[in-house]
Amino acid sequence: MSSKAWYKTSAPVLIRKFLGVGGPATGNDAMRKRSVEVWTTTCIVTNFGMKRGRTGGSINVSEANAGSSCSVLINPANPSLSGVADFPYFPRGGPQPKKQPTKDAHHIMGFVTQWGGMDVGEGMMFSAAVVDGLVHQLGGVRLAAECKLKGLLRGGGVACPEGTSIVTSHGGPALRAEYDHIVHTVPPFFNHPPAKDCDVVEMLMSSYRSSFDLAFGTFGVGSTGEQRVAVPLLGAGCRGFPVDIAVKVAAEECTRWMHPSLDKCDISGDAESGLGQQVVAFGLLEEDIAMKLIHAIEESSSALEK
């Protein structure tokens, strides 16, 4: 995901775990246990799912050898659910151009690809540098076909509007080794909202809520009695949200999800069905961003309890 990943430990590392109050389990007097974990990992797509080991000073040996064990990945997608197949690279923060990239001949460099009139350079991102790009590379044609079908069935001209989510399988065998299912959610561009009157922060919050509802409401608990869902820091990549804003939204939304009995907002009934433990696991590349998220969750939890 970054040139900084090569010197990091190969195994995901658990930095902090937060325990939630939980919500009433349907048809049972027991309280559902919810928790949020903050991890560092070299790549949430290829080095964080069911097949990977983990380490961490705050957990015991049996847990450390169990792997991060997330069977569902939340993927920050684009509204067309096409991954990045339409463009070889794209500017961080958008906007998405309306035309395909062109190739201009150069007497020394040969063909120089342009993206909406912009040469590749600083501020441009390649598919391997973003979660959505890797998901579609590994998911292959099967995932692409499934996303296209989901978009057609949804109707309305846009496969997945900003702030909403859909769920698909893992697609091809390369992604199957890590995740059983992918929840695609579409954060807005920070500086280019879909409409002038749109609140991009509210739409990012909606991305978290809709993806959590789908991830925990669609699938049952695993063999360990847990539902574990991996999530990156939504909006902070190609969508161009400043890290501090993306961290604040992530902290507020996971805190609301973790403490539904304290939150004034309604929690979807889908997210309350079933039994067992539910875990949101953030997988981040940078430890300093992980620490910012931890501090923001602490502040958000304190504010919610007041």
Domain ranges of the chain: 13-19+32-51+65-93+122-263+274-305
In this predicted model, what pLDDT tens digit does every residue of 238-250 receive, in sequence order? 899 999 999 999 9
C-alpha distances in Å from residue 18, one per residue of 3, 11, 29, 278, 297:
30, 21, 23, 12, 9
Q: Does the pLDDT of residue 263 top 70, yes or no?
A: no
From the centroid of its chain, how far is CA 94? 18
In whole angstroms, give the CA distance from residue 215 to residue 227. Answer: 9
pLDDT band at 58 (very low <50, low <70, confident <90, very high): very low
What's this model's pTM, rounded to 2 decimal places?
0.82
pLDDT band at 84 (very low <50, low <70, confident <90, very high): confident
In whole angstroms, give the CA distance from residue 131 to residue 44. Answer: 8
Higher per-residue pLDDT: 128 or 76: 76
Do 238 and 92 form a contact (C-beta atoms < 8 A)? yes
Contacts of 302 (CB under 8 A, 6+ apart): none
Closest CA to 300 of 243, 267, 266, 259: 259
Classify residue 65 as exposed, middle or buried by CB count within 10 Å of its CB (0-12, 13-18, 19+).
exposed
Query: pLDDT value at position 303?
Result: 86
In this predicted model, what pLDDT tens digit does every residue of 192-240 receive, in sequence order? 888 778 899 999 999 999 999 999 987 766 556 788 999 999 999 989 9
Higher per-residue pLDDT: 5 or 19: 19
In whole angstroms, give the CA distance from residue 136 to residue 144. Answer: 7
Classify residue 276 as exposed, middle or buried by CB count within 10 Å of its CB (0-12, 13-18, 19+).
middle
Higher per-residue pLDDT: 270 or 36: 36
Q: Does the pLDDT of residue 267 top 90, yes or no?
A: no
Query: pLDDT value at position 65?
Result: 38
Q: 13-19+32-51+65-93+122-263+274-305 — its CATH code?
A: 3.40.220.10
In this predicted model, what pLDDT tens digit does every residue of 134-188 receive, in sequence order? 999 999 999 999 999 988 888 777 899 999 999 999 998 889 888 999 999 999 9
pLDDT band at 55 (very low <50, low <70, confident <90, very high): very low
Query: pLDDT value at position 91?
Result: 74
Query: pLDDT value at position 145?
Result: 93
How is residue 188 annotated by DSSP?
P
Query: pLDDT value at position 75?
Result: 97
Higher per-residue pLDDT: 19 or 22: 19
Using a pLDDT cut of 70, give the percent of the chain over it: 70
